[in-house]
Amino acid sequence: MTRLFVAAGGGGDAVAAAMLRAALYGADDQAVILTYAWDRLLVDPLPGPRDVRDFTGLRPVTRSVWSVPADAQPVSPAGSTLPRLAAELPHTLALLDPHHGVEGVTRQLEELVDHLSPRSIDVLDVGGDILAKGDEPGLKSPLADALTLAACCQVKASVRLLVAGPGLDGEVPSDELRPLLGALVHTFTAGDTEAIADVLTWHPSEATAMLAATACGIRGICEIRDAGLAVPLTDEGPTVHEVDLDAALNRNALARALLTTATLDEAEAHSREICGFSEIDYERAKAARREALPPVTLDADRVLARLDAFAHEARSRGVTHTTFRRLTEALDLSGAQRSELRSLLISAHPERYAAPLWRIA
């Protein structure tokens, strides 16, 4: 029997889906995880999500759905974590393509449901920004989740919407999400994180890293992203709740506006109108700024000195932990240097490695 998971925002949601499948369903059933190839600029220098044309080695599943096997490769200069995820997770990863708007995503979902006849369909969002109204001041990346939500509400099948780690994406505070959450489905434990522990040593997802950290008992304040958002790590962090799908759509103004879109450009236009921005515009601007910067060499002594200064300032803000993505950007390094930075820091200060986070205090 097959379980179908839809990673609402791609990336880290796909990793979390692998952990949730093991926790909820054990090892007996196979899993197909439908996910975007949208790894942001730390991994992919090209703004926005990738599509079938950006890969070699994909395998057809249905007319419009392709799986991403371990031997697939992104076409340079594009980058993607999906082939490596396929190599390290015991699941089938399928590419979710938003370039044909919600109409295209809905078509992909319906084809996959018809092809697989899955035993269950779970849509997973880590953090809960899929429940955003659209005007929240901390909202940074609503588009992928809204596209997924709008499509799932139109699929002629029973779909369950799950939110893991309320507030962990730093976009909608947990206090705002709490009244919207339904039944508790699961609370992750340290044992659950074993299914993805190796992946989190290299995957850049911050929300899923914090989800795993809270499951392992880590508590405090974690600083994330280039903007240095402060995210509380609390007992709510490792929880997974069911949310009514229709209620989520009624709340999410962007998702409602996207219901009949046929292109990603249309979807972006709605995001600019409703939320005041498009996250792909932000990526375009950031990519242009990076192109103008000279390459930076990772000098160990300089990096460790800057790390001490960063940690001192972070402690003054009440921060107890941070992510390696945040450290990479705070130290003015490129995404390609994140793995090298991680190795350097763990070698220099192994006592401050609170896997998969970095301990500030």
263-296 per-residue burial string, b: 16 or more CB within 10 A, e: under 16: ebebbbebbeebbeebbbeebeeeeeeeeeeeee
Q: Are strands 92-96 and 30-36 parallel, antiparallel or unpaired?
A: parallel
Can you give the pLDDT at residue 291? 80
Mean pLDDT (the chain) is 95
Can you give the pLDDT at residue 292? 78
Structure tokens at 246: 């229709």
Structure tokens at 155: 């699929």
Candidate from 9-13, 52-56, 106-110, 152-156 with smallest mean pLDDT: 9-13
Q: Give the residue from 120, 143, 99, 104 showing the smallest Cα distance to 33.
A: 120
Asked whether residue 54 carries a pLDDT value surpassing 90, the answer given is: yes
Can you give the pLDDT at residue 161? 98
Q: Give the residue from 245, 272, 279, 242 showing the smallest Cα distance to 257.
A: 272
Can you give the pLDDT at residue 136? 96
Asked whether residue 273 carries a pLDDT value surpassing 80, the answer given is: yes
Asked whether residue 29 carries a pLDDT value surpassing 90, the answer given is: no
62, 35 contact by CB (below 8 A):
no
240-261 residue pLDDT tens: 999 999 999 999 999 999 999 9
Residue 121 pairs with which residues in a beta bridge?
4
Q: Please state the rounded mean pLDDT for residues 304-313.
A: 95
Q: Please state the rounded mean pLDDT for residues 196-225.
A: 97
Three-class DSSP labels, the chain: CEEEEEECCCCHHHHHHHHHHHHHHCCCCEEEEEEECCCHHHHCCCCCCCCHHHEECCEECCCCCEECCCCCEECCCCCCCHHHHHHHCCCEEEEECCCCHHHHHHHHHHHHHHHHCCCEEEEEEECCHHHCCCCCCCCCCCHHHHHHHHHHCCCCCCCEEEEECCCCCCCCCHHHHHHHCCCEEEECCCCHHHHCCCHHHCCCCHHHHHHHHHHCCCCEEEEECCCCEEEEECCCCCEEEEECHHHHHHHCHHHHHCCCCCCHHHHHHHHHHHHCCCHHHHHHHHHHHHHCCCCCCCCHHHHHHHHHHHHHHHHHCCCCEECHHHHHHHCCCCHHHHHHHHHHHHHHCHHHEECCEEECC
336 compared with 117, residue with greater pLDDT: 117
The Cα-based distances of 22 to 19, 138, 214, 261 in angstroms read: 5, 32, 18, 35
Please state, as a whole number, how many other Cβ atoms lie within 10 Å of the Cβ of residue 5.
26
167-200 residue pLDDT tens: 999 999 999 999 999 999 999 999 999 999 999 9
Please state, as a whole number, how many other Cβ atoms lie within 10 Å of the Cβ of residue 42.
18
Can you give the pLDDT at residue 297? 85
Give, in degrees to the nearest 5, the angle at Cα 279 between 274 and 282.
Answer: 120
Structure tokens at 326: 């945040």
Q: Give the residue from 278, 281, 282, 283 showing the smallest Cα distance to 134.
A: 278
Q: How confident is the model at residue 203 (pLDDT cuts 50, 70, 90)?
A: very high
228-251 per-residue burial string, b: 16 or more CB within 10 A, e: under 16: bbebbbbebbbbbbebebeebbeb
Asked whether residue 295 carries a pLDDT value surpassing 80, the answer given is: no
Can you give the pLDDT at residue 133? 97
Can you give the pLDDT at residue 222? 98
Q: How confident is the model at residue 40 (pLDDT cuts 50, 70, 90)?
A: confident
Q: How confident is the model at residue 334 (pLDDT cuts 50, 70, 90)?
A: confident
Asked whether residue 28 carries a pLDDT value surpassing 80, the answer given is: no
Asked whether residue 49 carries a pLDDT value surpassing 90, the answer given is: yes
Say if pTM beats, i.e. exceeds, 0.75: yes
Q: Where are the domains of the chain?
A: 2-257, 300-359
Asked whether residue 293 carries a pLDDT value surpassing 80, the answer given is: no
Q: Report percent pLDDT > 90 for the chain.
A: 91
Q: Are strands 184-187 and 55-56 parallel, antiparallel or unpaired?
A: unpaired
CA distance 303 to 297: 10
277-288 residue pLDDT tens: 999 999 999 999
Asked whether residue 145 carries a pLDDT value surpassing 90, the answer given is: yes
Can you give the pLDDT at residue 137? 94
Asked whether residue 290 carries a pLDDT value surpassing 90, the answer given is: no
249, 149 contact by CB (below 8 A):
yes
